[in-house]
Amino acid sequence: MSDLLSELDDNVFTITFNRIDKHNAFDDRLLKQLQVRLDEAIANPKARVIVLKSYGKHFSAGADVAWMQRMAAFSEEENFKDAMGLARVMNTLYQCQKPTIAVIQGSAYGGGAGLVAACDIAIAATSAQFCFSEVKLGLIPAVISPYVIKAIGERAAKWLFMSAEIINAEQARYLNLVQYCVEDKELYSFAYECAQRIAHFAPVAVLECKSLVAKISGQGIDDNLLLETANLIAKRRVSKEGQRGLSAFLSKQTPDWN
């Protein structure tokens, strides 16, 4: 069976790591496969939400040992080309116009925790543990750092990067690395319900909410921003989707977004 599985079910595109014997650690080959599946999900008009999850006890142990052994013998130029594979996957997840959800059980270490940070929403089981363990190997979490710092802030990132401390799911939720912490037995059902809920909202509005945050984040609240945001909501109110939603609300009906 393939190390990476994918399926589209009721507008939710699920990508599943299936290297159970390797604790879902990834190498360059698996990252190339993941890039292909992500591109497929993004291009598929029926896919409204992308879910990233794993089979087995662990979400992902990060980089595969055999891959690291090969990397150790690479030149600096070869290592740069190799690192760009992970960089592209991370950026694809982060820049994806569609909502992305990570579902985490067991260990999410190194790059595995980076994948979590790059997603919009992260749902962790109570068994989940997170660690940025690169310093133990004399390395740094360079490629994943932009997404981790965006998620948890500079000070927490410095602490976790330098200490390689293992944190549990509740600590991860407190730091905003994950948004939900649920019992292990409820993990997949909870995540599926979350994905379905988003998939059944107005699809263009959902996409525009994501782009709205990217557009507004970091801007100062001034007259220009007031004009920009007022213009955005005015356009949305007169759009076909906005009109359909408002009409359904005022007539006390549930809009059909299909």
Per residue in 206-249, pLDDT (tens digit) is: 999 999 998 898 888 998 999 999 988 889 988 988 888 788 78
Rounded Cα gap, residues 143 and 146, in angstroms: 7
Residue 62 has pLDDT above 90, yes or no: no
Task: Please tell me whether residues 219 and 116 are part of one structural domain.
Answer: no
Mean pLDDT within 189-216: 94
Task: Please tell me whether residues 161 and 217 are part of one structural domain.
Answer: no
Write the pLDDT tens digit of every residue in 171-181. 999 999 999 99
Task: Please tell me whether residues 212 and 167 are part of one structural domain.
Answer: no
Mean pLDDT within 74-93: 90
Supply the pTM of this predicted model.
0.94
Domain range for 229: 203-250
Task: Please tell me whether residues 195 and 230 are part of one structural domain.
Answer: no
Give the total number of structural domains in the chain: 2
Residue 72 has pLDDT above 80, yes or no: no
Residue 82 has pLDDT above 90, yes or no: no
Write the pLDDT tens digit of every residue in 21-55. 999 999 889 999 999 999 999 999 999 999 999 99
Task: Please tell me whether residues 208 and 189 are part of one structural domain.
Answer: no
Task: Please tell me whether residues 166 and 62 are part of one structural domain.
Answer: yes
CATH number for position 130: 3.90.226.10
Within-domain flag for 29: yes
